[in-house]
A and B are shown apart, each in its own frame.
Chain A
Amino acid sequence: MGLNSYFSIAYLAIFLPVVIVAYALIPRRFRWVVLLAASYVFFWLISGKLIVFILISTLTIYGVGIKLDKLLAQRDELIAADKSRRKELKAQYARTMRIWVAVGVGINIALLAMLKYLTFFSTVGASLLSLFGVQVDPIVSTIGAPIGISFYSLMAASYVFDVYRGTAKADRNIARLALFLSFFPQIMEGPICRYTQTAESLWAGRDIEKDNLYRGAVRIMWGLAKKLIVADRLNLLVKPVFADYASYDGGIIALAAIAYTLQLYCDFSGAMDVALGTARIFGVELPENFNHPFFSRTASEFWKRWHITLGTWLRDYIFYPISLSKPLKNLTKAARKTIGNRYGPLVAGAITLFCVWFANGLWHGAGSQYIFFGLYYFVIILLGGFIEPLAQTLSEKLHYSRESRWYKGLQIFRTLIVIFVGELFFRAEGLDAGLAMFGQMVAGFTFESFTNGAVLAIGMSVGDFVAIAGAVVILLVVGIIEERGTVISAWLCEKNLAVRWVVLLVLIFSMLIIGSYGFGAAPLEPIYAQF
């Protein structure tokens, strides 16, 4: 049916309208059935028989959740009966519960590893063994991975952790849990939702309200415009340069790195706009995944604004558990004694950060460039931690405000360079290619290709560059307005019908006319759906 993207005609013109109409016409108490059926049909149409893996995940977390709930109830009962054994009982039950958490999370992570990383790790393993003279053929996975496994596996794991921690109560309704895990607008590229964020509203079967319908439609069109006008158009430049980087000078490679960063942002955040817009139509608010990341002043802030739900997942389920673990606490104590209070905590922090960024890189894909990408941010953020006290001292000594406009501007500019370099490695076809491109960009930087017109021979015409420039200005203006606290779609809802329709029509026509599709276009497959 061609449902391989939220931007496809099959999704926007057929699947979504059919689901909306069915949802609107059916009594409220059965609306969850429409959403669940639509989600499973959507999954089936894309991944076919691999749907069995999301069923396994659902059943696993359902069973483990109930088991954890029972253990918690049992423990509380025993504690209520004999309060003097409170500490002992807590420790005893914590051990058992941790085993169940390991089962629940382990099965999901094992499935993810088997379906997505088996070939990569077995190739790495075989290469390592060959260093010791042992020749082993790497295992090549032929099953393929179901759509969204990287996203729903993390959601499944978070549910188990949350039930264990008591931040969510185990759901005894398997249909609701299945809907939480498989909801079709989020299954392909996220956001990575928590059970407490969406399960209730998904189940509620809220009416399709006028404002939600409008805001959802505007959000979908905004996402489509980002994808079709910017992301797909930039493919005309990004694809050839990254495929044949040796033929281009440093200036073009720098341009391609910037172009790819913008492309990735518009592709991924565009898909999020469609996902959030779709969910809003059904009265469901999915968590935001982007918050104008290019206004970030540090790399650390960038990751609080870019792929937010992955960042918070890593923070809640990797960073905190490791940094609050006993060995790390002991290490911090020891480090404070040895190297002082300023830099002591950074030692344990570095270990935790390493784990987070290694996981971040690995999550993006089974490839050395992704792991390098994660570790690149590990080094940048760690360095930031070391430099921060120095920068603070310097500003005090030289009497300049770190909140002044020019200083903030410099910080944003510096962060942008960090981001562009990171994305260069991320997009490069392998780590070797990334390093070669970086070397070429630094050593062979020149503006020659811009002055002699060679930049126009790559694939993008003057019209394409004008369209991109216009789009960047609009993104910037919208970003500045929203940074100041105005939610544009909500603001629009307060306007009269004519204004709202005009805005929607302008978005639709911008996308239809200036969008890069059809003749001469090089459409881009959804980037994050591949992760």
Chain B
Amino acid sequence: MTDTPQDISLNEAEPGASVASDDASVPYEAPVKQSRGKAFLKYAGLCVAFCAILCVLLAGVSHVLHPKNNTEEAGMMDVRTYSVLAEPEDTIDALFVGNSVVATAISPMDIWEASGFTSYVCAANGEKLTFVHYLLAQTFEKQHPQVVFIEGDMLFDPSDFAHLAREILRQTFPGILYHHRWSSLTLDDFTKPIEYSNSLVNKGYNAKGRTEPAPNPDYMAPTDEVAQISKVNRFLLEDIKNMCDQQGVKLVILAVPSTVNWNMARHNGAEQLAEEFGIDFIDMNNGENKPPVDWSTDTRDKGNHLNWRGALKTSQRMAKHLTRYSLVDHRGDEKWASWDEALVKYHDYMDRLKAHPEAYDAEGAHVG
């Protein structure tokens, strides 16, 4: 599609024409029939109307393209992350949100076994803070946890406004995320509502079996350095805090054990920000909340993520920490009977994982 086919020399000016003049007054006069303000308002109005139609259509298309259930077969991405939406209403006491670091470190079933508190991990690989806003907004429609732990590692991600814009588009119009389904749509995609009925026994925990020791177990050496947190991430954290405040939910910044993602400079940065925002900061790499992680046996990939051994220790330590929030032990309560059933399945799953650690380690394998 061309504007002027054949013509490769538009606006050919005569040599020495007004082009070379120093005079900033412009020979061109636009055919203005109304004041610039009115014309601008008219164009702006048309643009707004067009965008409104575009948004309405995009929302409709998004509904069609969105998978109709939270299963891999249905085409859902991040099945584990969104599985919290399949839990019965108001049954979760604590939420852990973040990226793969928290997904491999916290096992809600181990916390349940140790304390009777219900929790869920809502995390996906490489997720940024931008994603947390949308995840919490969706989760709060069904769950009213007493505390939300946000993985502090995400505060140091290099988020920028372009990423923020992309995430807003992706979340507001999931058709953009699921557009690749255009060639495999069925009649159900046009007629059925979106459901979340696939509940997972691991409750969002991503158990890992492999062991690769960390080379730097003394990663929390004292320093006065303070790692910087970008303006975008500060803005996003403030937004998440406001959202939690509105819901009456306590927000806590959490640092789970990781020799790759944490050090004292980051600890100082997160601590400073937590103070500034009036949020608690729990660092499990350092101090009283540190679980007895053995970095020669408890990490999957040289200290980046924990394996099941590290996760068990971290989860048991977390179960103790959760007693601070006056949560109720639900064990034996009929409403939470499904958690006891899930616990049996969870142990089965973990036994199989311990027997075949490599087979159960691959990404996407056995989401539980």
**Count of chain B residues with a beta carbon within 8 Å of a chain A beta carbon:** 57
Task: Kindly list chain B residues whose C-beta atoms are within 8 Å of the C-beta of A1.
Answer: 160-162
User: How many A residues have CB within 8 A of the partner chain?
Assistant: 82
Segment of B8-16, B259-267, B337-345 engaged in the interface with chain A: B8-16
In the complex, whether A29 has a CB less than 8 A from a CB of chain B is: yes
A196 contacts B13, C-beta separation under 8 Å: yes
Q: Is the CB of A291 within 8 A of B1?
A: no
B5 at the interface (CB under 8 A from A): yes
Contact of A196 among B7, B11, B183 (CB under 8 A): B11
CA distance A505 to B61 in the complex (A): 12
Q: Assess whether B183 is in contact with A487, with CB atoms less than 8 Å apart.
A: no
Partner pick for A219 among B3, B7, B30, B77, CB 8 A cutoff: B3
**By the criterion CB–CB under 8 Å, are B54 and A488 in contact?**
no
A60 within 8 A of B: no
In the complex, the answer to whether B8 meets A169 with C-beta atoms within 8 Å is no
Comparing A84-92, A105-113, A200-208, the segment that makes contact with chain B is A200-208
When distances are taken between beta carbons in the complex, the residues of chain A under 8 Å from B335 are none
* Per-residue interface assignment for chain A, residues 327 to 355, with 1 indicating a CB less than 8 Å from any chain B CB and 0 otherwise: 00000000000000000000000000000
> Contacts A169-B15, A172-B20, A273-B1; is A205 near B26 (CB within 8 Å)?
yes
Binding site of B, secondary structure by majority: helix, strand, loop or mixed? Answer: loop
**A501/B50 contact (C-beta < 8 A), A206-B30, A463-B183 known:** yes
Question: In the assembled complex, which residues on chain A have CB atoms less than 8 Å from the CB atom of B6?
Answer: 291
**A198 CA to B183 CA, complexed, in Å:** 44
Taking a contact as CB atoms under 8 Å apart, the answer to whether B20 and A169 are in contact is: yes
Q: Which of B38-65 contact A (CB under 8 A)?
A: 39-40, 43, 46, 50, 53-54, 57-58, 61, 65
Per-residue CB proximity of B154-197 to A under 8 Å, as 1/0? 00000011110110010000011111101110000000000000
- The complex places the Cα of A488 from the Cα of B3 at a distance, in Å, of 8
A307: min CB distance to chain B, Å: 11
User: How many contacting A-B pairs (Cβ < 8 A)?
Assistant: 169
Contact B24 A207 (CB under 8 A): no
Given A201-B11, A210-B43, are A285 and B3 also a contact pair (CB < 8 Å)? yes
Q: What is the distance, in angstroms, from A21's C-beta to the closest C-beta of chain B?
A: 9
Chain A CB within 8 A of B17 CB = yes
- A9 and B1 contact, CB distance less than 8 A: no
| Contacting pair A209 B30 (CB below 8 A) | yes
Q: Name the A residues within 8 Å of B169 (CB-CB).
A: 9, 13
Measured between beta carbons, the chain B residues less than 8 angstroms from A386 are none
A10 at the interface (CB under 8 A from B): yes
Chain B residues contacting A444 (CB-CB under 8 Å) are none
Are A487 and B5 in contact (CB-based, < 8 A)? yes
Residues in A neighbouring B19, C-beta threshold 8 A = 168-169, 171, 176, 195-196, 199-200, 203
With A8-B162, A287-B9, A514-B182 known as contacts, the answer to whether A207 contacts B1 (CB < 8 A) is: no
Known: A512-B58, A515-B179. A276 touches B3 (CB 8 A): yes
Could you tell me the distance between the alpha carbons of A363 and B43 in the complex, rounded to whole angstroms? 42
Q: Which of B13, B30, B162, B178 contacts A2 (CB 8 A)?
A: B162
Residues of A within 8 A of B36 (CB): 207
- Are B43 and A512 in contact, CB atoms less than 8 angstroms apart? no
Q: Roughly how many angstroms separate A111 CA and B88 CA in the complex, as a whole number?
A: 67
CB-CB nearest in chain A for B23: A173
Query: In this complex, what residue of B is CB-closest to A276?
Result: B3
Give the distance in Å from the alpha carbon of A514 to the alpha carbon of B184 in the complex: 12
Is the Cβ of B40 less than 8 Å from the Cβ of A24? Answer: yes
Q: Which of A166, A218, A519 has a CB less than 8 Å from the CB of B1? A: A218
Q: Is A222 in the interface zone, CB < 8 Å from B?
A: yes
- A309 at the A/B interface (Cβ < 8 Å)? yes
Please indicate the chain A residues that have their CB under 8 angstroms from the CB of B163 in the complex. Answer: 2
B224 at the interface (CB under 8 A from A): no
* Candidates B1, B24, B43; contact of A222 at CB < 8 Å: B1
Does any Cβ of B come within 8 Å of A25's Cβ? yes
Chain A residue, CB-CB nearest to B28 = A204
The answer, yes or no, to whether B2 is at the interface (CB within 8 Å) is: yes
A170 within 8 Å of B (CB atoms): yes
CA distance A239 to B178 in the complex (A): 24
Is there a chain B Cβ closer than 8 Å to A144's Cβ?
Answer: no
A514 to B177 alpha-carbon distance, docked (Å): 12
Question: Is A512 a contact of B179 with CB atoms below 8 Å?
Answer: yes
Indicate if the CB atoms of A197 and B12 lie closer than 8 Å: yes
Contact present for A518 and B1 (CB under 8 Å): no
A478 CB–B CB distance under 8 Å = yes
In the bound complex, do residue A490 and residue B3 qualify as a contact, i.e. CB atoms below 8 Å apart? yes
| Interface: A446 (CB within 8 A) | no
Which parts of A160-178 form the interface with B (CB within 8 Å)?
166-173, 176
Instruction: Report the nearest B residue to A170, measured CB to CB.
Output: B20
A selection of 17 A-B contacts at a CB cut-off of 8 Å is A9-B166, A13-B165, A29-B26, A200-B11, A200-B18, A207-B30, A207-B32, A283-B30, A285-B3, A285-B11, A287-B9, A287-B10, A288-B5, A487-B3, A504-B50, A505-B57, A509-B57
A interface vs B, CB < 8 Å? 1-2, 8-10, 13-14, 24-25, 28-29, 166-173, 176, 194-201, 203-210, 213, 215, 218-219, 222, 273, 276, 280, 283, 285-288, 290-292, 308-309, 312, 461-463, 466-467, 478, 482-483, 485, 487-490, 501, 504-505, 508-509, 512-515, 517-521
